[in-house]
Amino acid sequence: MATTRETETGDIGSSLAGALPDADRFRWLLGLVVPAALVVVWHLLVATGVFAAHQLPEPLRVVETLYGMAATGELWGHIAITLQRVFFGTLLGVSAGIVFGTITGLYGLARDLLDPLLQSLKNIPSLAWVPLFLLWFGIGEGAKVLLIAVGAFFPVYLNLSTGIGNVSEDLLEVAEVYDLGRFESLRRVVFPAAVPSLLVGIRGGVGLAWMFVVAAELIAASQGIGFLMSDGRVLARPDIIVGSILLFAFFGNLSDLAVKEVEQRVVDW
């Protein structure tokens, strides 16, 4: 009798579990809770007069401004050029980071020669590079892409170099046991073991690329989200400034999620 009741209870529980939606599918909604709360606080601060409208516009005002610019097509041009700069800058920076990270990770002499210099350059703020890049490369697109590449380079270099240098001795011993050559050891043991570190570096590099694009678009730019933000400052339009900041946050987060998804797929595979 008890067994029958337990069986029926289990069947009901299974049916309810099947009827309820998978909670994991909606976990991403948790990430919207804090931003939504901040928007509410933002609106209340402006509505109650804590911040004047010329200091901080209402959320609806920012949305209306972005919508108006999107309707005229102006906003899409700024977004497109910024995405293009970030893409090519990140591609260049990640490629250079992989080359230097591999060299310094594999060869102690190269690490001793290059790492102190690169670690020092890593600490230079993005805006500090602007005058030098203006002198070296002028005001063209090349200067902007190279500046973004500088930002993307350092996380990739640092993580990959560290990842290769920290490959487990046990894995290297396995390569010796199977009598793998130098190239095969690198291809089958060292590089696969360093892939998680590389992916973390790429994720950090993409994030810094979005930070450096602001400085890059101060180099005599006439288009781009950074230019839009600077133009909003000149015109005393806080709605444009805040809207530009939100666009940076949105596209930066979108690119981070894309890299994170690739990272999870590669690691799981």
Nearest to 146 by CA among 132, 135, 133: 133
Q: pLDDT band at 16, cuts 50/70/90? A: very low
Provide the pLDDT confidence category of residue 205 given band limits of 50, 70 and 90. very high
- Summarised one tens digit per residue, pLDDT across range 223-267 is 889 889 988 888 888 999 999 999 999 999 899 888 888 877 776
pLDDT for 121 beyond 60: yes
pLDDT mean across residues, the chain: 81
pLDDT at residue 19 above 70?
Answer: no
Predicted confidence (pLDDT) at residue 91 exceeds the cutoff of 90: yes
The whole-number pLDDT of residue 17 equals: 47
